[in-house]
Amino acid sequence: MNETDTLTIIKPDAFGAGKAGHIIAHLEDAGFRVVAATVKHLTLDEARAFYAVHRERPFFSSLVEFMTSGPCMPLLLRREDAVPELRSVIGATDPAEADEGTVRALYAESKERNAIHASDSAENAEIEIAFFFAGTERLRA
C-alpha cells in the first residue's frame, strides 16, 4: 500500500456553520486518516501567501477576504492516492455541478463559499502541508 499525504481546509463558511465534524466524518468514511489538524483564523498576509498562485486571477481579492472572514480548519490527511481521491470526494468547485454525496454537494453554499479546499497535486500538497504544519511530525501509524 502506497499511502500519501494531502492537505484540506474546512473553509470559514463550513467551519462557522458547525459542519467540520460532519465533513471530517465524511472524509474518514472515504478512507482518509487525520494525521494533523489545527484551527486557524488566517491573517490577510497568510491568506495572500497561501493563495499567491491565484494573485493574478480576478477572484483573488474576494478569496482572500473570504478566507480571512473567520476561523478555518486545515487538516493533513493520509490514504492511498490521497490527492486524487480527495479531489474526487470533495466534488466540483461549484456545488451545483458537484456529484451527489460529495462534500461540496452536501455542505457548500456556492461556488465562492464552497466549504473545503483540497491540494491539486502531490507537489502542491507538500507545499501546502508545510505552510500549516511545518515542523509537525509526520506520524507513520
Determine the CATH number of domain 3-133.
3.30.70.141
Residue at grid coordinates 467551519: 15
pLDDT per position as a tens digit, 103-122: 999 999 999 999 999 999 99
**Beta pairing partners, 40:** 72
CB proximity list for 45: less than 8 A, separation 6 or greater = none
Q: Which residues are catalytic?
A: 117
Q: How far apart are CA 84 and CA 36, in angstroms?
A: 19
Long-range contacts of 44-52 (CB under 8 A, 24+ apart): 44/68, 49/131, 50/128, 50/131
Domain residue extents for the chain:
3-133
d(CA 35, CA 40): 17
d(CA 63, CA 125): 19
Query: Model confidence over 54-83: pLDDT tens digits?
Result: 999 999 999 999 999 999 999 999 999 999
Backbone angles phi, psi at 118, to 5 degrees: -140, 140
Q: Give the C-alpha separation, 95 to 76, whole Å.
A: 23
Angle value at C-alpha 11, between 126 and 54, nearest 5 degrees = 60
pLDDT bucket at 2, cuts 50 / 70 / 90:
confident
Residue 135 reports pLDDT greater than 90 = no
